[in-house]
Amino acid sequence: MSKDVTKYVYFFGEGKAEGSASMKDLLGGKGANLADMTSIGLPVPPGFTISTEACAYYSANDSTYPEGLREEVLKHLDHLEKVMGAKLGDSENPLLVSVRSGAAQSMPGMMDTVLNLGMNPDSAKALAKKTNNERFAWDSYRRFMQMFGDVVMGVPHHEFEEALQSVKTERNCEFDTDLDVEDMKEVIDRYRALYKRYIGEDFPTDPIDQLFKAINAVFGSWNNDRAIRYRQMNDIRGLLGTAVNVQSMVFGNMGATSGTGVAFTRDPSTGEDKFYGEYLMNAQGEDVVAGIRTPQTIDTLKSVNEKVYQQLVDIRDLLEKHYKDMQDIEFTIQEGTLYMLQTRNGKRTIFSWLRSQVEMVESGLISKETAVGRVPAGEFNKLFAPVLDSDDIDKQGVQEVTKGLNASPGGACGQVYFSAEKAEEMAALGKDVILARVETSPEDIGGMAVAKGVITTRGGMTSHAAVVARGMGCPCVSGAGDISINYKDGSMKVGDKVVREGDFISIDGFTGQVYFAHIQVKPSEIVQVLNGEMKSDESLLFQNYNKFMGYVDEIRKLRVRTNADTPADTHMAVQLGAEGIGLCRTEHMFFGGQRIISVRKMILANNKVEREKALAELLPMQRQDFEEIFTELNGLPATVRLLDPPLHEFLPNDHTSRHEMALQLGISVEEIAQKTTQLHEFNPMLGFRGCRLAIVYPEILHMQVRAIIEAALNVSEKGTEVHPEIMIPLVGHYKEFEYTKKHAIETIEKVFAERGKKIAYKIGTMIEVPRAAITADEIAKSAEFFSFGTNDLTQMTCGFSRDDAASFLGPYVNDTDKQFYEYDPFATIDIDGVGKLVKIASELGRSVNPKIKLGICGEHGGDPKTIDFCQKVGLDYVSCSPFRVPVARLAAAQAVLKK
Ligand code: ADP
Ligand code: MG
Ligand code: MG
């Protein structure tokens, strides 16, 4: 092959570019790591990898190969045959291979593997002779037929299962392992007939034909619906395609001294530093993962084969040192000899992430930066996810009906459904659902995504359900073998206890317990510690969290504030690390009890005098709110936004409430109706709101500013530092800002004079109208801070209302032929549009006022990708809802590391 021809195929261990990022992109994670393990001397069955570039070509060119690929594959096969001293499909000395997919990022279960390729009647006979194990040979053949038929040719999986089951039933066998040679041959005959019935051709016996059909199927699977959906759900973008690994087979199904297993170098649920895994003797490939039989835990392997066990323990150490992270490995034992089939960075719960990373930092394996850079920010809020309330369990006196495996942590309560479709349907109606299945498969992913919890009756800790649920942070109990599910009549039972579709059940993913009852869920352990309901030294989780957040805070530069309107929210946010309030929405204090009555009086006022009277009623209430919030903040700054929503939002719109209001205020229902009509707006978002209210009715502003400043003085007199920042909403023109600022200062000076005391304060504005962004230099002359209100800024920049956008924004973001917006612009800032305005406004603002403080307070403030953008633009802080504060801190640190 001449030099300028692209190389598409790589033998394992060939070349030196060990697991570097680019090798991963080219060979996929599986291929790169197989090459790595080969290079460091681990027992990996030889094979070769066809690169992701070949897949990209295949996808882009109507399922055809780039020039020379076929020959290159055959050349590598030839080499493999030489190394193995065997020939694919040979009638004397047959080589069998697996054909395995593997993209640069792991996508479990998304693309299927074919094992035992090269099997045909001749090679089966040869294999039987060579291994002196006839049953094994025919078992391997029937497994191959099943996988090839299903994965490569699309014959429905269940057809094979049913054919197998029919033979088992006829022969009175419970497990596959009970079938003998003749039974196997019978199974194979039925498979052959089945294949012909579906495909209209005989099952292929030419091994080269088999091989290329399988390679094509792997390439093709890159764009099957499941794979596309998985990439979408996990935000996996920009990959070329999948690589294909062709690897010589080793056999875990050669009898009692053979087996196959899956292990993690640390506990994927808790992160504990202990070897953690499962295996099955006399089994192959997917048996452990698919939950065919419930597997044994790894420590029992010691008594089965001590040498192999010890070898695995050594490999565990070696791999962690090599990759400096927790690994998820697959291995097979063939007649007492160990082979490594895969290693990758282990998927794990956020609990496991925290503990494993903190312990690796403490043992000196990795740096704090590495730890912080790795922990998935998108998962972080799951640390605060609820758990089942044990008091409620005691109070109700409910007992667990059974206990399965604690496959994915978290407590969940919901109505049970037995199919993914039904679960999706019910969740769409707003129900909390629990999906219960015998075992899950990739088709169930949609149902799992919407479920509050998942339960399976078969399969271990490494089963599909367990792995996927952990990935989603969805509580899961797997392998609850006492439960039997009846799909036909939509029920499940343990002994004589039955629940039907739609009944409430609860599961505890920390312990594996299952309850046929409705149990309350309560706050997570970390939240309990923060609330003072639990001592910090009783919670290892909290301690790890605390240490980890210590690393985070050492690294990050952006400050993190919170959007909080109540003392309770403020308290929680400060506990979670908020460094102040970035947005306190005063109107949230206008609801409830006497307040709303006074607010409505103000709205109905016919003149300034009446309005001021109503506002005077509100003043002490607002002042008290601010006092409590300032006290909670204990010296941290608070940005308080003046009244923003249109006034009609405070009026009732149904008859009964109007009637009630009329009685309370001593006016007629007609008057209320009339005023409501008068205030009605066609487009309230662009209507009489924000600073426009304060400009037309300055007395509202006077009251609010007075409440803020008086509260600040009161709290500071008690010895607590206070930093009030008054924020004018919805400014579009600098004159709007200057007008309102003048009024604010007048009030402030008045209060200072009355009290004979002063306090430092700031006055600034939200930037949420595009006009404000592009004239930010004019506004910045008199504003001390800008807070980007990216919700409104997005609505007004893109020209779509958040409340009405769902119908077209879905397709805009998700449909593969559209994707005009990379992410939902209300969740992640539209960097090229809205973000550009933020950048322009920041630069304009700083050009005239270098000291101006810049922050963001929209929903976006808690979104990691947006935070990364904020870091790049050089904002001073982000502000988000209390429970997103830790995520924001982490994302802020990661933004620094990315630079
Ligand atoms: P996945 O990406 O879904 O984990 P794999 O390619 O790892 O798929 O293969 C699925 C199963 O087949 C795994 O359990 C693996 O260990 C097994 N397997 C793959 N290749 C071989 C082989 N050459 N010999 C024996 N078992 C294999
Ligand atoms: Mg695998
Ligand atoms: Mg706004």
* HEC-encoded secondary structure of 790-811: HHHHHHHHHCCCCCCCHHHHHH
Query: Probe ligand 1: pick from 254, 286, 345, 464, max atoms within 8 Å of CB?
Result: 286
For residue 253, give the amino acid letter.
N
Ligand 3 geometric centre to CA of 631 (Å): 26
C-beta separation of 330 from 342 below 8 A:
yes
- In the numeric block, which tokens belong to residue 732? 């579009």
CA separation (Å) from 484 to 323, 427, 436, 472, 512? 42, 24, 10, 25, 16
Distance CA 95, CA 117 (A): 9
> Whose Cα sits closest to atom 27 in ligand 1?
285
Of the candidates 107, 112, 187, the residue with the CA atom closest to the CA atom of residue 153: 112
Name the more confident of 60 and 253: 60
> Whose Cα sits closest to atom 23 in ligand 1?
249
**pLDDT tens per residue across span 739-790:** 999 999 999 999 999 999 999 999 999 999 999 999 999 999 999 999 999 9
**pLDDT tens per residue across span 241-294:** 999 999 999 999 888 999 999 999 999 989 999 999 999 999 887 777 776 677
CA separation (Å) from 392 to 238, 387, 472, 636? 47, 11, 27, 38
Q: Which atom of ligand 1 is nearest to the CA of 288?
A: 14
> Whose Cα sits closest to atom 14 in ligand 1?
285
Crossing angle for the helix pair 540-555 and 350-362, to the nearest 10 degrees: 70
DSSP element (H, E) containing 831:
none
List beta partners, residue 728: 765
CA separation (Å) from 396 to 206, 292, 350, 513, 517? 65, 36, 31, 16, 9
Query: Probe ligand 1: pick from 341, 462, 464, 467, max atoms within 8 Å of CB?
Result: 341
Q: Which atom of ligand 1 is nearest to the CA of 251?
A: 25
C-beta separation of 560 from 878 below 8 A:
yes
**pLDDT tens per residue across span 79-117:** 999 999 999 999 999 999 999 999 998 875 556 789 999
Confidence of residue 21 (pLDDT cuts 50, 70, 90): low
| Ligand 1 shell residues, CB under 6 Å | 45, 98, 100, 108-109, 113, 115, 247, 249-250, 285-286, 330, 332, 341-342
Q: What is the DSSP string of 253-310?
A: -SSTT-EEEEEESS-TTT--SS-EEEEEES--TTHHHHTSSPPEEGGGHHHH-HHHHH
Ligand 2 geometric centre to CA of 330 (Å): 6
Confidence of residue 16 (pLDDT cuts 50, 70, 90): low
Mean pLDDT, the chain, whole residue set: 92
pLDDT of residue 3: 46
Rg (CA), the chain: 32
CATH number of 556-646+681-898: 3.20.20.60
Distance CA 111, CA 228 (A): 11
- In the numeric block, which tokens belong to residue 569? 């929210």
Of the candidates 241, 228, 226, the residue with the CA atom closest to the CA atom of residue 65: 241
pLDDT at 606 over 70: yes
Q: Are strands 491-494 and 484-486 parallel, antiparallel or unpaired?
A: antiparallel
**pLDDT tens per residue across span 664-685:** 888 899 989 888 899 999 998 9
Q: Would you say how long the chain is, in residues?
A: 899
446 Cβ contact list (under 8 Å, min separation 6): 229, 420, 421, 424
Q: Which atom of ligand 1 is nearest to the CA of 107?
A: 2
Query: Probe ligand 1: pick from 80, 113, 218, max atoms within 8 Å of CB?
Result: 113
pLDDT at 2 over 50: no
pLDDT of residue 42: 97
743 Cβ contact list (under 8 Å, min separation 6): 694, 698, 701, 702, 705
Ligand 1 geometric centre to CA of 470 (Å): 21
Ligand 2 ion: residues within 5 Å (CB): 330, 342
pLDDT at 321 over 90: yes
Distance CA 670, CA 649 (A): 18
Say which of 76, 322, 413, 464 is annotated catalytic. 464
pLDDT at 707 over 90: yes
Distance CA 720, CA 709 (A): 14
- In the numeric block, which tokens belong to residue 854? 């810049």
pLDDT at 152 over 70: yes
Least confident of 194-208, 670-684, 799-813: 799-813
The number of the ligand nearest the C-alpha atom of 768 reads 3
Confidence of residue 498 (pLDDT cuts 50, 70, 90): very high
Locus of tokens 């939240």: 527
Read off the DSSP letter of residue 854: E
Active site residue 857: yes
Q: Determine the topology of domain 385-522 in CATH.
A: Glucose Oxidase; domain 1 (3.50.30)
Locus of tokens 């530092």: 721
> Whose Cα sits closest to atom 17 in ligand 1?
285
Ligand 2 geometric centre to CA of 575 (Å): 42
Round to the nearest angstrom and report the end-to-end CA distance of the chain.
41
Ligand 1 geometric centre to CA of 100 (Å): 7
Q: What are the b/e assignments for 800-810, b being 16+ CB within 10 Å?
A: bebeebeeebe
Percent of the chain with pLDDT over 90: 75
The CATH class, in words, for 259-345 is: alpha beta
Ligand 1 geometric centre to CA of 286 (Å): 7
> Whose Cα sits closest to atom 4 in ligand 1?
108
The number of the ligand nearest the C-alpha atom of 245 reads 1
C-beta separation of 265 from 326 below 8 A:
yes
Ligand 2 geometric centre to CA of 159 (Å): 24
Q: Which atom of ligand 1 is nearest to the CA of 342?
A: 7
Q: Beginning with the edge strand found earlier in the chain, give each strand of the sheet holding 491-494 in spatial order.
A: 484-486, 491-494, 497-500
Q: What are the b/e assignments for 748-769, b being 16+ CB within 10 Å?
A: beebeeeeeeebebebbbbbbb
Q: Give backbone dihedrals phi and psi of 881, rounded to 5 degrees, phi first.
A: -65, 155
Q: Which atom of ligand 1 is nearest to the CA of 287?
A: 14
pLDDT of residue 807: 80
C-beta separation of 326 from 351 below 8 A:
no
> Whose Cα sits closest to atom 8 in ligand 1?
113
Ligand 3 geometric centre to CA of 791 (Å): 6
**pLDDT tens per residue across span 377-419:** 988 878 987 889 989 999 999 999 999 998 888 899 999 999 9
Confidence of residue 420 (pLDDT cuts 50, 70, 90): very high
CA 413, 415, 416, 417 torsion-angle sign: negative
C-beta separation of 422 from 501 below 8 A:
yes
Domain ranges of the chain: 259-345, 385-522, 556-646+681-898
pLDDT of residue 1: 44
Q: Are strands 97-102 and 114-117 parallel, antiparallel or unpaired?
A: antiparallel
**pLDDT tens per residue across span 582-601:** 999 998 788 877 888 999 99
* Across 691-697, average pLDDT: 97
Query: Probe ligand 1: pick from 84, 330, 467, max atoms within 8 Å of CB?
Result: 330
Q: Which atom of ligand 1 is nearest to the CA of 109?
A: 3
Say which of 476, 857, 870, 880 is annotated catalytic. 857
Q: Which atom of ligand 1 is nearest to the CA of 284?
A: 26
Q: Give backbone dihedrals phi and psi of 647, rounded to 5 degrees, phi first.
A: -60, -30
DSSP element (H, E) containing 609:
helix 608-633
Least confident of 105-114, 740-749, 793-802, 821-830: 105-114
> Whose Cα sits closest to atom 24 in ligand 1?
249
pLDDT of residue 11: 96
Least confident of 123-132, 289-298, 331-340, 633-642: 289-298
Distance CA 548, CA 737 (A): 42
Active site residue 655: no
> Whose Cα sits closest to atom 12 in ligand 1?
285
Ligand 1 geometric centre to CA of 247 (Å): 9
